[in-house]
Structure 1
Amino acid sequence: MPNPEHNAVENVNGTLAEISRDDREVLIEVKAALPVTGVSETSARSFLICVVSLAAVFVFFVLEQRLWATLGLGVMALLGYVLPSWRSATPVAQVLFAYCGLSYAINNEYFAVAYPYSNIFILTGLLGLFFLSGKQWSQLYFAPGKTKNWTRPAAIIGIALSALILAIYFWRPELVGKNPTPRQWPLDVLIVVALGYATFSTLMEETIFRSMILSFARTQLKPGLAVATQAFVFAAMHYHFGFPAQAFGSLLAFLWGLAAGLIVVKSESIYPAYVLHFVLVLALFIVLAFVS
């Protein structure tokens, strides 16, 4: 015979129903089932931890106080393990601690792996964090989703963003950093390198920012805030690394990150963001190598 004090959980008309029974009354509380990809509301605590974490990222990449920034992120990430009530507010701090910690470990005064090759080690470490967190692959947006509907818009946005970056480069090159392409190389080598680099950059950076970091941010923040969070980290990284760079280049990278992140959320897939990134980087490389 079932225990009248037992709490049962049943699925009623597609919603999650928590049914509590005792001797006097039956209380039914119906809650809308949250999607596996994230939360619908952002608490003040989650927002505060996110802002402080992003400030630490700014200190890490822009001010280049990497050790102190990493330690600060580590303290915030630790709060989620020490204080259970803070656990839901620290996923962003945890993934950014892993990202900055790995970046510092492989690129410091004693040991250095140059960008963009460092992304291989960073992505490997973030994948380890992902497996330890118990998340599902679908939460990393590795699913078809609405890829078919968003592939063409993603390519168009990639072309538009590359045109904007190139226009600013030809107008005021000092705003976005030096031309990173090896223009003195033979034509056939440049073509192979352009295709290879665009592919490598796409797989590494989109998976790190629009899959890993965005996924962790979505477990803590509303979609818009999660997209802005990963875009800010992407922009901060571009301050000293990659192209475009420097302050104005970081602003352009922020727009790039926003566009790619929104496409991932809307399409529920990482693949259109791959298209955007590949088209953008390939266009930049070709024009900078052959035209400038």
Structure 2
Amino acid sequence: MAPLTHFPTRPAADQAADWRLLADVVSEAPVPLWVIGPEGSVEVANRAAVTFLGYRNDLDLVGGPSHELLHRNRLDGTSYPPDECPIICAQGLEHRGQEWFVTRAGDPRPVHWSTRRLNDTGATVLSFTPTASDAVRHRAEARLRDSAPASAPLRSRAVLRDGLYAIIHERFADPLFTVADLAAEVHVSVRSLQALFADVGRSPAAELRRVRLEFAHSLLERGHGVQTACQRSGFLDAGSFGRAFRRRFGYPPSQVRPPEAGS
């Protein structure tokens, strides 16, 4: 039997160069990358992660507690124990989910995250990207910057509320989506959610219903039937849809007509 081919070990200088290249690639990767050590501390935070979270450089993060740096508290201000965090509790090689991270300035940011356990070291690689709701957050922040200065707590609540509106717009067509689901998605209680909307004189249930009804109205104006508008806007039955529609617009859905051409 022919002997196995022997590949000589690369010189130490070349290996060191390879590690420097790998470190540079991780540092400059466009996706935020974050390495959590076996004890829960941050071992690596690349430039994209540092920028996303609003820190000056990785020295502000490396060595610190990962969970506390990402989301020390829940969005309603209550304590967020590490043993309830899905990132900390993820077991196995690979997991993914959605969370809200909080920047150094205290602004909540919705993210999709994924983790992969590095078996040899016990460390975990975390990557995360903004959700579609983050575009709404950027627009909200721009409006807030252009308006009269607000206190930090009020500003954070306004940004969070914009993120909640984005989730409503993403999920209203699901008839099983409720205010309780909205609260669970951002890890706050229904009462805290109600308090956030009470700031602007509304309720989360009323806002969810408003979005559904306005979408249904737009479908009817485009010539869709009442049953189609009911189903596609997230109502479970035509009876409750008709009653809610009449209360909102003052007439039944059957009276909506497409606008005349040229009007």
Q: TM-score, normalised by structure 2?
A: 0.26
The structure whose residues are more often helix, as a share, is 1
Bigger share in strand:
2
Larger radius of gyration: 2
Higher relative contact order (CA 8 A, sep 6+): 1
TM-score (norm 1): 0.24
